[in-house]
Structure formats: structure tokens, C-alpha cells
């Protein structure tokens, strides 16, 4: 600056201001957070400390995670053992979970969130007629909720993405994700951001409240599963096939307690949005999150989405954004992309993997409906410009031969930016001519927000989608719907055939005049040649100060309800707890707290509790939502019986099988049992997010020390949990089963509570404990 001191002082000041602004802009975390710098300098400082401590090659997951430690010098670090205290860079919430998260934050009494946070309105828009009409109806129907979220965001400093903006994970990828980011999001598919080299982790709303309240976020130190990609993608094989293959290898619980890290020479053959697809669906294998190393494809995407400065900073810090040579993985999976066959997974579970060459044969043997009723592309998993373009290339070629989709065909753009761009470039019109209906920029059928009328409930049928999750009843609330997940390209090909028994690589379609036509391999630009069209401005920034603003919740509302704190533990053992339900088989968070029409009650705990366990199968009668009230011998719905027990002061437990609580991050699956009188959940094993959610709400998540002890508990038994005054990390809980004949059976139960989480139990919930600590 001294060069200007001899000339014009005004010029020097102007240059100084511009230089400062340039530095601020180049270092900003996002254009929506201009005053929040990228954290690379802080991360590098922590990284250097941990690197010296560990003195070994590190995986990318370790580099990012440990660089966000609250105490890099003193934190105990042991994979699968230590509980890490972390400082995430930001928080993201979708509208269904944001309601409860913001209600909990309001209960904390804090004036403003401590880290950049956003709310995204994507879950409450029902697919029925088409994008424009569906969006207008949703805005009217959900006005009370949207007004609450917008006003709460303004008051507490949270950015608000209005209905129609798009799906949370696509918005994050386009605007907020960056290499090295640590973000938590109140949705299980938050790991989508791993496609841009960040550790983005799905959590419950109570975890989000911790971070927004400036409390270190706790995570059990994950193991790291490495997936070495060799070869290159080509032809009909797509990024989706990578995760479909991995799901078949690891199963729905194989990633539990671990981060899945992709590396190897094959990475550079995958687009940034393709990497996001792979990371997104890592939720289906139970992984804490998934991540790719920073490279050229990520840089191209950052630049295409207006973040050239972020890419430049990532280039400077590339050594902490890639794994070290010789890094150790707890498990290694090898996949040669050049040999990888396109896959279709399902039905009823996302890890039942079928190479396309065997799908028809497998379906016939299993007796699944062969004819496809509905084909669906898009969602947070596969709605990139490249995805839509590759489908359009198939559609264009087919229509040249007079062929169109033989099934209903629905298209869900992932964001307003994607919608506007595919409209401008003619892709959307091609998909309409193919037979498609373009839905709103929202989750829609992927999460059960689908007013489907082509089949009756209970009617067996098949649908194929490019979504991520296909549990029973997930998409349309019909337990007889056989849902399969695959790539958008295969969805289009199968829609043209109208049957599961079709492999576009080897088989031909028949035109109206009897001519045999074999489809060409799909192709499309990775990014739009003319750049992205941002579409409508749908973002509401919070004011600089919202202290004087009010957030009003009508006490008569059936959509929103302020929270009352749960009762503290009374210091006594839990004696003679009733067994509300013993669940048979798979029990996801969809079974515990259904979505679909119940989403409208996500902000009203008492009302949404009327869906508790209504999808879980009672082992006593192989029936959902029908259990015996042991107090009067009458049969009733699960929530009704639970309310009767609660009214009579009777605590209860639920008993479940393996991987209990897999699927969505919805903390309502923990809040509802707590609200209706549960004291403990006893299962063979838990999915990570749900186990944490139970702990946050003051419930005891317990696992059988001997898994076969599951068979010893019967629906009419009573459960006593002994020695709780001595509850300690690693110490088993004594359980006594009192049978109907008066006999008793002692068993041992395990838990993963650390000392801090035991304090949550004693206080009645993590939120209660946080309030206590503030006093």
C-alpha cells in the first residue's frame, strides 16, 4: 500500500476497500454468508496438531473430521471407540424436521444461531397434478407452517429457502457445500454433499440445536471403509450403479458406525453430481456419511455454480482434501468401473441388488409383478443436469422411432436452478413429449408425498425410480407396491419396455410397424454449455438483527405446538415396564413414524404421535397397528394403547430386531415414544441416527448382550431395569423379565451411552440438560 501513499490518498483508500472486499468475497463460505470466511486456515491449524499426534498417514475422512475437533490437542481419538466433540461449519434443515428443530431451539431461550444455518421447504409439497398446481396448493395448505419457519428463521438468523426452491441436498450442493466442509443436516440424505468433498452428516433436530446453540457436537469416532475405484464408467453404467453395487456388498447395516471414503483412479471418470449421487445413497447402507477426494470434476462444478474463489482456495489446500498414500482403512472394497454392470435394487429394501442382466430372471423366480406401472426420475439422488440430459437423449432417440414411455412417467427437478435450466435447454419439453409430467421442485413421491390413484391400496404392482429408498409403502403408502431403485437412464429404458424383463444393452424394442430397435448408449453434457439459469429468486435472508421480531404459535393449531419439557428421571430403577409391542422383522423410522399424510403434523408432537408404530409388525399376530392392552385384554391401535398406558401412569418398552430405526433421520420416531410413555427401547442392534435421537430424548436405547434373548421376551411380559443409579459407560444393565406365569428370567443388556449422554437420561432429555447447564 505504500506505493499509493505518495499519490492519491483517496485512491489508496478505494483500493484498500476493494482489496478487502475481494479478500472477503474470495474467502466467503458462500455468497449467502459473505461475512463468514472459509475455514481452511482454522482447519489446517487443527490438522497440523492432529497429524503430529497420530504420526501416520490419514484418510480424507479423518483429515476433515479431526480438523473440526473442538480440542485438537486433548481429544482422545480412537476409531469406533472415542466420542469426538466437533465444531461443524453449518447446519441445514428441511421443512418437515425444521419445525421440531426450531421449536426445540426456541425452547432453549437463545437469541440467535451460532453458525450459518438454513431451512429448506421441500417435504410438504404433494405430487398430484404437476409442478405449478402442486406448488400453489402446498403454499396455501401449509401457510401456517411456512409462516412459522420463515418468521423463526428471521428472528433467529436462519436463511429460509421458500417452497419451490428445490430439495435441500441439491440446494446445498449448488450453493453451500465445499471441499473440507463439516455440516450436519436434519435429513438422512445429507451425505449428498460428499460429492463436493465435504463430510455432511444426517442427524436429528436435537443435534442441530446443539450446533446452533454453540455447543460442541458429539459423534462416536467413525471407522473408515475405503472403496477403491479403478477403471472408468462408460455406456449404460452410471454413478448410481456404484452405490447400488456397494449396497449389495455391504447391506443396509454394513456401513453403520463408519464413513465410506471413495478413492482411486476411477474417481476422475465420475462427475461431481455423480459423486453426490453415490454419497447420497450411502444413507441406505447405514453409513455415517460418504465422501470423495477433491479433484478436477469438483473444481469444474464449483466454477460452473459461481464459486471460482472457493475452487481457488481448495486448490491451495488440496493436501488436506485428499487421503494420504498408505492411509489405513478398516475395510476395503474394490470396484472396477470398467466391469461394473448397471444395477436395479429392490423391492422393499435398497440392498437387494440385481445386475440388469439378471433382473428379469430374478423377478420371475420371485413372483414379482413384471409389468411396470409408474416410472419416476429425479429426487435429491438423481436430478442433476447430466441426469436429465442423459434421459432426454434416450427419449429423443426413442421418439424418432415413434416410441414413448409405456408407463406413467414423472420427473422431479432437484432445484429451481435445474428446473429453469432444463426448461431453457429444451430437456423438460423432451421429457414431456416422451410422456412425462414435470413435478414441483420438491421431494414428492420419493418420501410418500404422492397422490397416486392408478392402483388400489393392497393391489400388487411394480414401480421403478431413480430415488434412494424403497421400503414397504415408502412411495405411495401401498404395502403391495414393489418399488425398485436404479439410474435415471435405466428408468427411461424400462419405461419404454414397460417390463422388468429388459436389458437395453442386449435387447431391442419393437416399433408400431414391427421394426426392432436397439437403443444407443445415453449421453449428455456434464454441465450446461450456456451455464445454469438460476430461475426465480426463492431465498429469504435473515435480517441483521431479528431480536424484535415475534414468532407466534396459535395454541389452537393442529399443525404446530410449543414443547413442554419431558420429566426428569426420578433416580429409581424402572420396574414392571409393560411391553407395548414386540416388533417382528425390519423396523425403519417409516414404520415407527410414517411420513406421507403425517408430514403435516411434524410440528405438533401430540398429533403426530397418533402414527407411532402403526407400520410395525406385531409378532403376536403378524399384523400392523393391532396390539393387546394387557391391562384390560382389549385389542387396539398401538398409539391408542400407549395413550391408555400413559393415562394410568404405566411406563413401557418396545422390543425390536436388528438395525432398528434404519432409514430417515426423523427424530419424531424417538419423540413420539417418549411423549407417549416409553422409557426404553430394547433391540438386537440400532441404526446410528435413531440411537442418537433416542438418547437425546432421554430414552434408554438398549441392546441384547445375547441377541437370542430377543426370543425370551413375550408381549405380555413386564420388564424391570435394575441398577440404574450405577449406570455407567460400558457397564451392562441388568434386566429382569417377569412372565405372565409369575416366573422371571434375568438377562443382560448393553448400551453405548457415554457419561454426557447418561446426564441427558437423568435430566429427562439433552435439551433439559442444556437448560440446566445454562443456569
The catalytic residues are 122-123, 187, 469, 664, 666
DSSP 450: B
| β-strand pairing of 289-291 with 574-582 | unpaired
Contacts 24+ apart (CB under 8 A), 138-144: 138/163, 138/440, 138/442, 139/163, 141/600, 142/600, 144/554, 144/557, 144/559, 144/560
3-state secondary structure 613-643: CCCCEECCCCEECCEECCCCCCEECHHHHHH
Query: Which region, left, alpha or beta, applies to residue 707 given φ > 0 means left and ψ of -120 to 50 means alpha?
Result: alpha
Using alpha carbons only, give the angle 213, 218, 219 rounded to the nearest 5 degrees. 140
CA atoms within 13 A on the CB side of 147: 12
CA angle 235–446–278, rounded 5-degree value: 40
Among candidate residues 385, 375, 379, the one with its CA nearest the CA of residue 344: 375
CA 450 to chain centre: 19
Q: Which of 204, 379, 415, 389 is nearest to 305 (CA)?
A: 415
- Tell me how crowded residue 139 is: count the other CB atoms within 10 A of its CB: 16
| Cα–Cα dist 430/392, whole Å | 6
Sorted by sequence, the CB contacts under 8 Å of residue 44 that are 6+ apart come out as: 67, 317, 320
Secondary structure letter of residue 671 according to DSSP: H
Compute the distance between CA of residue 275 and CA of residue 670 in angstroms, rounded to an integer. 31
In sequence order, the 6+-apart residues with CB closer than 8 A to the CB of 377 are: 383, 387, 388, 391, 409, 410, 411, 412, 465, 466, 488, 491, 492
CA distances from 279 to 31, 252, 418, 707 (A): 24, 14, 20, 31
Secondary structure of residue 153 in the 3-state scheme: helix
Write the CB contacts of 269 (distance below 8 Å, at least 6 apart in sequence): 231, 232, 233, 234, 337
Amino acid at each position: 500500500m505504500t506505493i499509493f501513499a505518495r499519490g492519491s490518498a483517496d485512491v489508496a483508500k478505494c483500493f484498500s476497500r476493494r482489496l478487502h472486499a475481494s479478500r472477503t468475497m474470495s474467502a466467503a463460505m458462500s455468497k449467502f454468508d459473505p461475512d463468514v470466511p472459509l475455514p481452511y486456515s482454522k482447519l489446517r491449524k487443527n490438522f497440523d496438531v492432529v497429524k503430529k499426534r497420530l504420526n501416520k498417514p490419514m484418510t480424507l475422512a479423518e483429515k476433515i473430521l479431526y480438523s473440526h475437533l473442538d480440542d485438537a490437542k486433548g481429544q482422545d481419538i480412537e476409531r469406533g471407540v472415542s466420542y469426538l466433540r466437533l465444531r461443524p461449519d453449518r447446519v441445514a434443515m428441511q421443512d418437515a424436521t425444521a419445525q421440531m428443530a426450531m421449536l426445540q431451539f426456541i425452547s432453549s431461550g437463545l437469541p440467535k444461531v451460532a453458525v450459518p444455518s438454513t431451512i429448506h421447504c421441500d417435504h410438504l409439497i404433494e405430487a398430484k397434478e404437476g409442478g405449478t398446481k402442486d406448488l400453489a396448493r402446498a403454499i396455501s395448505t401449509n401457510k401456517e407452517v411456512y409462516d412459522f419457519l420463515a418468521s423463526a428463521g428471521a428472528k433467529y438468523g436462519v436463511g429460509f429457502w421458500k417452497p419451490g426452491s428445490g430439495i435441500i441436498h441439491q440446494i446445498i450442493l449448488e450453493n453451500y457445500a465445499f471441499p473440507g466442509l463439516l455440516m450436519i443436516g436434519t435429513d438422512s440424505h445429507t451425505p449428498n454433499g460428499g460429492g463436493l468433498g465435504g463430510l455432511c452428516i444426517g442427524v436429528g433436530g436435537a443435534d442441530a440445536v446443539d450446533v446452533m446453540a454453540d455447543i460442541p457436537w458429539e459423534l462416536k469416532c467413525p471407522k473408515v471403509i475405503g472403496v477403491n475405484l479403478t477403471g472408468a464408467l462408460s455406456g449404460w453404467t452410471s454413478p448410481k450403479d456404484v452405490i447400488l453395487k456397494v449396497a449389495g456388498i455391504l447391506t443396509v447395516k454394513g456401513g453403520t458406525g463408519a464413513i465410506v471414503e471413495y478413492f482411486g483412479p476411477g474417481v476422475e471418470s465420475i462427475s461431481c453430481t455423480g459423486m453426490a449421487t453415490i454419497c447420497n445413497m450411502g444413507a441406505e447402507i447405514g453409513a455415517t456419511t460418504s465422501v470423495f477426494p477433491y479433484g478436477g470434476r469438483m473444481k469444474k462444478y464449483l466454477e460452473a455454480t459461481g464459486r471460482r474463489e472457493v475452487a481457488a482456495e481448495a486448490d491451495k489446500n488440496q493436501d488436506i482434501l485428499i487421503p494420504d498414500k498408505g492411509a489405513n482403512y478398516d475395510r476395503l472394497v474394490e470396484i472396477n468401473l470398467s466391469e461394473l454392470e448397471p444395477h436395479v435394487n429392490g423391492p422393499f429394501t435398497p440392498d437387494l441388488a440385481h445386475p440388469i442382466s439378471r433382473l428379469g430372471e430374478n423377478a420371475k423366480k420371485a413372483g414379482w409383478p413384471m409389468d411396470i406401472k409408474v416410472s419416476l426420475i429425479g429426487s435429491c439422488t438423481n436430478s442433476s443436469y447430466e441426469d436429465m440430459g442423459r434421459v432426454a437423449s434416450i427419449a429423443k432417440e426413442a421418439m424418432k422411432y415413434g416410441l414413448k414411455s409405456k408407463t406413467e412417467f414423472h420427473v422431479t427437478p432437484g432445484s429451481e436452478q435445474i428446473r429453469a435450466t432444463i426448461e431453457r435447454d429444451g430437456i423438460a419439453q423432451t421429457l414431456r413429449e416422451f410422456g412425462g409430467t414435470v413435478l414441483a421442485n420438491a421431494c414428492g413421491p420419493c418420501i410418500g408425498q404422492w397422490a397416486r390413484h392408478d392402483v388400489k391400496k393392497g393391489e400388487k404392482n411394480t414401480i421403478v425410480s431413480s430415488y434412494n429408498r424403497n421400503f414397504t409403502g415408502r412411495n405411495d403408502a401401498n404395502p403391495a407396491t414393489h418399488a425398485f431403485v436404479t439410474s435415471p437412464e435405466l428408468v427411461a429404458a424400462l419405461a419404454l419396455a414397460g417390463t422388468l424383463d429388459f436389458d437395453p444393452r442386449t435387447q431391442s424394442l419393437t416399433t408400431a410397424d414391427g421394426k426392432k430397435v436397439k437403443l444407443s448408449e445415453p449421453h449428455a453434457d456434464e454441465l450446461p454449455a450456456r451455464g445454469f439459469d438460476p430461475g426465480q429468486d426463492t431465498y429469504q435472508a435473515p435480517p441483521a438483527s431479528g431480536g424484535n421480531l415475534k414468532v407466534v404459535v396459535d395454541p389452537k393449531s393442529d399443525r404446530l405446538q410449543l414443547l413442554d419439557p419431558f420429566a426428569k428421571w426420578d433416580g429409581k430403577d424402572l420396574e414392571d415396564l409393560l411391553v407395548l409391542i414386540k416388533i417382528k422383522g425390519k423396523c425403519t423410522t417409516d414404520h415407527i413414524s410414517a411420513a406421507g399424510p403425517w408430514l403435516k403434523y411434524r410440528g405438533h408432537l401430540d398429533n403426530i404421535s397418533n402414527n407411532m408404530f402403526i407400520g410395525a409388525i406385531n409378532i403376536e399376530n403378524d399384523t400392523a397397528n393391532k396390539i393387546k392392552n394387557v391391562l384390560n385384554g382389549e385389542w387396539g391401535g398401538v398409539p391408542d394403547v400407549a395413550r391408555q398406558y400413559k393415562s394410568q401412569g404405566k411406563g413401557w418398552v418396545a422390543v425390536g430386531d436388528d438395525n432398528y430405526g434404519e432409514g430417515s433421520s426423523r427424530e419424531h420416531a424417538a419423540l413420539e415414544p417418549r411423549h407417549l410413555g416409553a422409557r426404553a427401547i430394547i433391540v438386537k442392534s440400532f441404526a446410528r441416527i435413531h440411537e442418537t435421537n433416542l438418547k437425546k430424548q432421554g430414552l434408554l436405547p438398549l441392546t441384547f448382550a445375547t441377541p437370542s434373548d430377543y426370543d425370551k421376551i413375550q408381549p405380555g411380559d413386564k420388564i424391570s431395569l435394575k441398577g440404574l443409579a450405577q449406570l455407567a459407560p460400558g457397564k451392562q444393565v441388568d434386566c429382569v423379565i417377569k412372565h405372565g406365569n409369575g416366573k422371571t428370567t434375568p438377562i443382560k443388556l448393553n448400551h453405548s451411552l457415554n457419561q454426557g449422554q447418561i446426564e441427558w437420561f437423568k435430566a429427562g432429555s439433552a435439551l433439559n440438560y442444556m437448560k440446566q447447564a445454562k443456569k
